[in-house]
Structure 1
């Protein structure tokens, strides 16, 4: 447990709802392991209170704050700078209070997205080389956009994005357009209702990721994939969900003989560790964190 002193520095977590989050546990384990006098606390912040909450990072000289829904796509307007990947994917999950040459925070706030970095770092740590590979991605939300943009910037050959024709579908069209205009990766947007096309693209792909909320309560009994015939044994299958640890989709893939099936725990861990390094400049012992978190 951290020993709170007059010198303890604060990192926030701003979202609504937020009390269920694993983030403070992960962050505070890392700060304690690294010997940092830093603590993360969760604050219930929605769009209406976000402007004042971001100003508090400056006023309280916080190291920064993680940001989750519903704030990821709107927090940029209150920041001084946004990094390229976060700008392209249109979502920010980490706000850093930039330090000066003496290590003091300056009040200059820069936004990053470590979700995409965390997802691909998790695959890399698992020994998966994704450069030049083809990805099928379901979803157009903040996590999906971050995964797509970071993967495109890091060398994916192509991304086939699928989503239902809801209010977020056009966001997927915009993501594909941005990827095509700013990277060497080829991206296309498709209707998830076109199951024949989905199966065709999954059989052509090297990687598959479901980055939607399907699989999380109250949708824990559902899958975006109709049946096991959509999978092939050498497809690398991933889900951004980590509670439950095995979704219906993951079980479908395993039953279909898929050799590599991963949940969202590694993404959750590495997006946090990358954010922690941005706040403190320190890398964290990955194996220690996996052991402590039961990953």
Structure 2
């Protein structure tokens, strides 16, 4: 990569950001397409969000990804919010052409799942009711899931999310319950989505949300955690003969969608995936 006076800058803002896998993924894509762009990670404290946006505009930065803990707080400083991002209530991508916020997390997840199965008319069980669950669940509804069951330790939080999704008019059947009841829902499930941090590095020996003996072979199991690549839940899915979907795929596809928003060009998926694999030391 050659940085020149004409180089367009895009990047990531969050706190912390030093362990992000996005810079090598995006910079590999820019190199492949010979685009005069560079992707940089910026550690931004929550108190400095407005000045970060103002500074980025002044510096002619082209776009940002937004990660924890800024996905909600950043919205007040944008001129426009995409319709789906508004429903989700969080932004993970900013296009500075019109200072518009998007959320590509959900599309990243559904594209990953749809490599294995169609979402339309499927019964989906979603573990967790936080920001990732919110983004993914709205997109599951948008892509035609028949039913969604939201499971969380705090059942009230799951109920509130279920009501928000119902109010969107995207789906007519949605349930909520305690995550401790997950086994009673798996027998009728087509897709299991885990948005909890269980098994995330360095807690790789966490108890998975479900065990192999409660999974059928036709079940598609997606874990949003991508470090490690083979989480405790994915290991159980493989043991059961179920169909695993790796979290790295969500990271890949949400990044590809951001790339398209910023540049107007289709992202080189294979190049980005290879860069992610090398970053994560995958064979």
For the criterion TM > 0.5, the same-fold answer is: yes
- Residue correspondence of structure 1 range 60-139 to structure 2 within 5 A: 60-98=59-97, 108-124=98-114, 126-139=115-128
Inter-partner Cα distance in structure 1 for 2:116 and 2:213: 26
Change in CA separation of 1:109 and 1:225 when aligned onto 2, cut-off 3 Å: same
1:69 Cα shift?
0.2
Change in CA separation of 1:217 and 1:10 when aligned onto 2, cut-off 3 Å: same
Partner SS, residue 136 of structure 1 = strand
Native 8 Å contact 1:134 1:156 kept in 2: yes
Which residue of structure 2 lines up, in the alignment, with residue 48 of structure 1?
Answer: 47
Unaligned runs of 5+ in 2: none
Partner SS, residue 187 of structure 2 = helix
Which residue of structure 1 lines up, in the alignment, with residue 254 of structure 2?
Answer: 271
- Aligned pairs, how many? 277
TM-score normalised to structure 1 length: 0.89
Partner SS, residue 204 of structure 1 = coil
1:178 Cα shift?
1.8
Change in CA separation of 1:192 and 1:51 when aligned onto 2, cut-off 3 Å: same
Check if 1:183 corresponds to 2:169.
yes
Which residue of structure 2 lines up, in the alignment, with residue 173 of structure 1?
Answer: 159
Which residue of structure 2 lines up, in the alignment, with residue 3 of structure 1?
Answer: 2
Inter-partner Cα distance in structure 1 for 2:152 and 2:215: 18
- Residue correspondence of structure 1 range 157-236 to structure 2 within 5 A: 157-165=146-154, 170-185=156-171, 186-193=173-180, 195=181, 198-236=182-220
Inter-partner Cα distance in structure 1 for 2:62 and 2:49: 17
1:160 Cα shift?
0.6
Inter-partner Cα distance in structure 2 for 1:109 and 1:157: 35
Task: Give CA deviations for 1:61-84 in whole Å, capped at 9, x if unaligned.
Answer: 111100000001221111111111
1:171 Cα shift?
4.3
Check if 1:16 corresponds to 2:54.
no
Native 8 Å contact 1:86 1:111 kept in 2: yes
Unaligned runs of 5+ in 1: 99-107
TM-score normalised to structure 2 length: 0.92
1:157 Cα shift?
1.2
Q: 1:143 aligns with which of 108, 123, 132?
A: 132
Task: Give CA deviations for 1:216-236 in whole Å, capped at 9, x if unaligned.
Answer: 123211134253232111100
Q: Which moved more, 1:35-44 or 1:223-232?
A: 223-232
| Structure 1 residue ranges (4+ consecutive) displaced by more than 4 angstroms after TM superposition | none
